[in-house]
Structures are given as structure tokens and as C-alpha cells.
């Protein structure tokens, strides 16, 4: 193959990259590809080279819409949410039968030492967090991908069979979404994100476990498919809402961020108020009541304050002629 | 900081480079262990430019091929130094641990 034909082959492969990227880097990148081929004495592109270009071109397209920092924040949200709820589900749902009253026993056909096969998705999510904490990023990404695949497979399998202990499909929707988000970027790229993830995830897990345990009365049988307030379905639904809202906020660019704060933060009051609805007002335990109205007011105020802070940053534009254009 | 990023910043700390020379220099610096592909290199360069650690430093045409040069910024130099210090501290701890192990074996 002549160099002209080699160049044509590479130009075709470069169409995987967005037009703006090709306008900026296309010619120099082509030069590098041709230099590499000449250095290796090759007259044609290799299959792995073309696949590599396709993957990186796709990544460049994604990066155009969602820059690295925003993707990293979304990945942090997925990691924190997924790990926290996995811990909650393991304690309340899976391992609960070993220490909670009114628990499933062997005649209910639990899943080995656990209670349901959903434990597979929870364990994979927790292992991904542990791999991240150990600095094994590639292993963490593989485990997140495995958790996504396991969530989809389990949703299908448990949906068509009739397990003795039901797991609501929303649980798998949450873990599929959270682990997919975790793959969007590097959730621990900066020191701030690292602290947020490694401190936030376990703290949130412990906090939600304790508050859910108090509200659920400690009975395991009311957790899976139960009609009571704290059940797998409701926890998964509220967590999914919170993770999606947080991810949308993280994905918002500088211009959209004030509007995102105004719209999304108040909306978070709905799942939050549900999660802690019966935490208070119990005369027997004597806990402090947290009425839903408290969340509505608090989140609305936070939404306005956050929008103002996001607007006031000099890189943002809030539709005002005085603001500098977004960076 | 991942190793390819570290190697790219280290190569740029020695002077400006264009794409192909970055590929050869990073391979040389790693003793042949790390062989970056052009796609990975430019993904990393895009990110480093976004983060302000690397900047464009001119371009020229050589034998009909465009070469754009990249250089390390002051922020990039600081980031590289921080990472080098972190790795040095880790290496010192590892060597101390090995000395303790050796003393234990001889005792």
C-alpha cells in the first residue's frame, strides 16, 4: 500500500473523531500516525489501530458534550450512591437474616449465606469501591462493568422466575444506573473528589442504614417487597431519584448550572422527605421529628443560594449583559 | 496520577515535544515498558490542556506533515513535582520495610 493509500485509510478512520477535534488536531495526528507506521515499516493500518482510533474518537465525542471534570463528578456521584446503597442493602436485606428479628430462614430458600441473588450486584459494587480505595482503577472499572451486567441479568432472571423472596426491579435499575455512572469518568481524580468518595460513601451508607433500620423496626421480612415505608423498592426509588438529580446537576455546564440548582435541588426534597418520613414522631423511641415540610423549605432555600453562588462566579453567564462569557 | 500521564509530563519537563517525539520519549523514559498509542496520547494531551498542565508551543511543517509542539506549564511542573515527591516517599517506606525484613531474616 502506498503512503497515499495509507493516509487515505487513516483519514477515513479519523472520522470517528468530531469535526471540531479534526479541525484542531487532525493534520498533526495524521502526521503522527504516518510517522508511527513508517517507524514500524508498515504500509497499512492494523485492525487494532483502527479499533483504537474508533474508541478514542468516540471518547472525544463524549468529551465534547461532557468535559472531563463534569464526567468525573458524575462518576463520583455514581460511586458514592452505589456504594452507600449496596452497604444498606447488604446490612438490611442480605445479611439481616443473621441478626434481625422476624427474618427469613432456610425454609424460605435464601441465597446461601445471603438472602437473595441481588447480593451479587451489591458485592460487586462494594468490591469496585474497595478496588478504587486500593488504587486499582482498572480493576474498579471492570467490577463496575460487571455490576452493570449482573444488575441487568438478575433483573431478567428474577423477573421471569418466581423467587420465594422477591426483589423489586427498581433495585437493579438503581445499581445498573449507579455503576454505569461510575464508569463515566475517574471518580477520584482530584483530592476533593477522593475525600468526597472515600469518606462520603461509607458515611452515607452507615447513616442511611441506621435511619432506615430505626424506621423499619428491625424486621427483615418487611424489607423485601414489603408494604411498609422502608422497603427495597422505596429505598431504591428514592436513591435513584437522588443520584439522577445529583448527576444532572454535575453535568450542567457553567451557563446552565444556576438554572439546574434552582430546579433540581428543591426537587431533591421529595425523595429526602420520603427517606426520613417516619424517623421522628415516635414517642416510644423519642426521636426528633423531621417533617417533610422541613426538607421542602431547606432544599428550596439551598436551591436559591446555590443558584446565586453559581451565577456569581465570573465564568458563568446567567442571561445578563454584565456577566462575562462562560469559560 | 497514572503512569502514562506522569511520563508525558516528565518528557515535557525536559523540553517541548511534538506528538511523535512524545511517543518515542515516553517509551524511552519507561525503559520500553510503556508504549503509548497515538489515540491514548492525544486523549491525555487534551485532558492535560483542559487542566492547564500543558500548552501548545508552536507548530511547523516537516516533509509535508504538520507538527504541533507541546510544552509544560508552571502548573504542570508543580503537579509533576508533587507526584514525584509522593512516589519518592512511597519508595523510601518500601526500602525501609525491606531493610527491616532483611534484618529480621539475619537475626
Report the percentage of chain B scoring pLDDT > 70: 98
**Chain B residues 17-46 with a CB less than 8 Å from chain A:** 18-20, 23, 37-43, 46
A58 vs B: CB within 8 A: no
Instruction: State the distance between the two ends of chain B, measured CA to CA, in whole angstroms.
Output: 39
Q: Tell me whether strands B54-62 and B17-18 are parallel, antiparallel or unpaired.
A: unpaired
Considering the entire predicted model, what is its pTM?
0.72
Angle between helices A137-160 and A119-133 (to 10 degrees): 170
Residue numbers in chain A where pLDDT is lower than 50: 281-283, 316-327
How many CB atoms lie under 10 A from the CB of residue A110? 18
Residue B68 — pLDDT band, cuts 50, 70, 90? very high
Beta bridge partners of B65: B62
Whole-number Å distance between alpha carbons of A30 and A19: 14
Residue of A nearest to B49 (CA): A68
| Whether the Cβ atoms of residue A326 and residue A310 lie closer than 8 Å to each other | no
B95 vs A: CB within 8 A: no
Which triple of cell numbers denotes residue A287? 426521636
Please tell me the predicted confidence (pLDDT) of residue A318.
47
Whole-number Å distance between alpha carbons of A3 and A11: 12
Which runs of consecutive H residues, i.e. helices, occur in chain B?
3-13, 19-29, 38-50, 74-106
- CA dist A96 to A113, A246, B14, B81, Å? 10, 29, 58, 49
Provide ipTM, 2 decimals. Answer: 0.86
Please tell me the predicted confidence (pLDDT) of residue A288.
57
- The phi-psi region of residue B68 (left if phi > 0; otherwise alpha if psi is between -120 and 50; otherwise beta) is beta
B96 vs A: CB within 8 A: no
Whole-number Å distance between alpha carbons of A163 and A178: 25
Contacts of B43 in chain A (CB under 8 A): 56, 59-60
Q: Å from A258 to nearest chain B CA? A: 22
Residue of B nearest to A64 (CA): B46
| Whether the Cβ atoms of residue A39 and residue A219 lie closer than 8 Å to each other | no
Own/partner contacts of B31-34, CB < 8 Å, gap of 24 or more, are: B34/B3, B34/B4, B34/B7
For chain A, the structural domain boundaries read 3-62, 68-246
Q: B32-66: per-residue pLDDT in tens?
A: 988 899 998 998 998 899 889 999 999 998 888 88
Q: Give chain B's mean pLDDT.
A: 91
Q: How far is CA A325 from the centre of its chain?
A: 30
With CB atoms and an 8 Å threshold, state whether A52 touches B37: yes
Which triple of cell numbers denotes residue A31? 502526521
Please tell me the predicted confidence (pLDDT) of residue A213.
81
Please tell me the predicted confidence (pLDDT) of residue A327.
34
Report the percentage of chain B scoring pLDDT > 90: 69
Please tell me the predicted confidence (pLDDT) of residue A153.
97
Q: How far is CA A262 from the centre of its chain?
A: 22
Amino acid at each position: 500500500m502506498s503512503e497515499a493509500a495509507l493516509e487515505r485509510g487513516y483519514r477515513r478512520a479519523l472520522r470517528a473523531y468530531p469535526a471540531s477535534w479534526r479541525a484542531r488536531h487532525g493534520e498533526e495526528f495524521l502526521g503522527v500516525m504516518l510517522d508511527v507506521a513508517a517507524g514500524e515499516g508498515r504500509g497499512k493500518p492494523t485492525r487494532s489501530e483502527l479499533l483504537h482510533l474508533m474508541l478514542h474518537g468516540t471518547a472525544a465525542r463524549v468529551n465534547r458534550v461532557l468535559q472531563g471534570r463534569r464526567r468525573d463528578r458524575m462518576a463520583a456521584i455514581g460511586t458514592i450512591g452505589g456504594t452507600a446503597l449496596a452497604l444498606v442493602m447488604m446490612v438490611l436485606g442480605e445479611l439481616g437474616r443473621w441478626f434481625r428479628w422476624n427474618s427469613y430462614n432456610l425454609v424460605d430458600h435464601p441465597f446461601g449465606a445471603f438472602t437473595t441473588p441481588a447480593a451479587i450486584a451489591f458485592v460487586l459494587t462494594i468490591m469496585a469501591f474497595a478496588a478504587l480505595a486500593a488504587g486499582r482503577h482498572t480493576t474498579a472499572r471492570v467490577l463496575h462493568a460487571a455490576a452493570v451486567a449482573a444488575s441487568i441479568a438478575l433483573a431478567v432472571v428474577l423477573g421471569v422466575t418466581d423467587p420465594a423472596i422477591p426483589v423489586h426491579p427498581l433495585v437493579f435499575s438503581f445499581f445498573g444506573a449507579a455503576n454505569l455512572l461510575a464508569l463515566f469518568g475517574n471518580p477520584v481524580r482530584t483530592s476533593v473528589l477522593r475525600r468526597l468518595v472515600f469518606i462520603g460513601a461509607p458515611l452515607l451508607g452507615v447513616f442511611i442504614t441506621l435511619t432506615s433500620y430505626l424506621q423499619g423496626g428491625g424486621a427483615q421480612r418487611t424489607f423485601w417487597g414489603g408494604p411498609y415505608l422502608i422497603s427495597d423498592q422505596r429505598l431504591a426509588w428514592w436513591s435513584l431519584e437522588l443520584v439522577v438529580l445529583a448527576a444532572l446537576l454535575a453535568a450542567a455546564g457553567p451557563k446552565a448550572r444556576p438554572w439546574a440548582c434552582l430546579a433540581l435541588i428543591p426537587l431533591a426534597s421529595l425523595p429526602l422527605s420520603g427517606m426520613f418520613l417516619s424517623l421522628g414522631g415516635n414517642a416510644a423511641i423519642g426521636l426528633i421529628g423531621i417533617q417533610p415540610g422541613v426538607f421542602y423549605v431547606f432544599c428550596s432555600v439551598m436551591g436559591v443560594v446555590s443558584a446565586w453562588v453559581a451565577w456569581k462566579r465570573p465564568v458563568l453567564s446567567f442571561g445578563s449583559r454584565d456577566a462575562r462569557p462562560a469559560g | 496520577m497514572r503512569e502514562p500521564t506522569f511520563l508525558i509530563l516528565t518528557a515535557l519537563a525536559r523540553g517541548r515535544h511534538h506528538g511523535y517525539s512524545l511517543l518515542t520519549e515516553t517509551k524511552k523514559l519507561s525503559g520500553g515498558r510503556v508504549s503509548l498509542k497515538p489515540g491514548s496520547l492525544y486523549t491525555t494531551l487534551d485532558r492535560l490542556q483542559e487542566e492547564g498542565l500543558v500548552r501548545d508551543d508552536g507548530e511547523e511543517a516537516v516533509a509535508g506533515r504538520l507538527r504541533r509542539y507541546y510544552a509544560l506549564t508552571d502548573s504542570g511542573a508543580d503537579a509533576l513535582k508533587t507526584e514525584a515527591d509522593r512516589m519518592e516517599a512511597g519508595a523510601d517506606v518500601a526500602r525501609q520495610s525491606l531493610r527491616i525484613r532483611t534484618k529480621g531474616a539475619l537475626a
